[in-house]
Amino acid sequence: MPIARREVVVDVPPAALMAVLTDFAAYPLFLPAMEEASVLARSDEGGRSTWTVRFAVRIVRRLAYTLRLERDGDHRLRWSLLEGVFRSNDGGWTLEPLDGGTRTRATYEVELDVGMFVPGSVIKTLVDQDLPRTLAAFKARAERLPPA
């Protein structure tokens, strides 16, 4: 699948949204397709945090994969595939403060190669319907949690 890119405005500061994005263990609580999100390793150094996380989602069937995620401050979270069912899975979030830092424009980008034939209609559904629902779930989670 080529790069998919979507934006959402969230009514919380970037740090609050970043806290939701990096609370990987909570993903199954608010992302319906997410069956597992387990942090295998974490390191923090000089304002950067790096995680190795194993995910499993159910999209027609269970798909398991492990990502390396790197957080750069409260404005960037990038990932790349370490292993799993995909040929590649690279992407990230970029968070831009709005309204004096009280709100956030979140841009999500992903480049995913599933390594097998996927009908165009399935890809279109994933990009046009599932991706916006996923962003809406992150927005709702961030806006629902009490301020830190």
Q: What is the Rg, in whole angstroms, of the alpha carbon atoms belonging to the chain?
A: 15
Does the model's pTM come out above 0.85? yes
Q: What is the DSSP letter of 101?
A: G
- pLDDT at position 15 over 70: yes
Q: Which two tokens stand for residue 81?
A: 């595939």
**pLDDT score recorded for residue 119:** 46
Task: Give residue limits of the domains in the chain.
Answer: 4-144
CATH label, 4-144, candidates 3.30.530.20, 3.30.70.270, 1.10.3680.10, 3.10.100.10? 3.30.530.20
Task: Please write down the long-range contacts of 33-38, taking CB distance under 8 Å and 24 or more positions apart.
Answer: 33/57, 33/58, 33/59, 33/130, 35/62, 36/64
- CA-closest candidate to residue 106, choices 37, 18, 1, 7: 7
Alpha-carbon span 68 to 54, nearest angstrom: 9
Please write the tens of the pLDDT for every residue from 41-91. 999 988 799 999 999 988 777 888 999 999 998 999 999 999 987 788 899
**pLDDT score recorded for residue 82:** 95
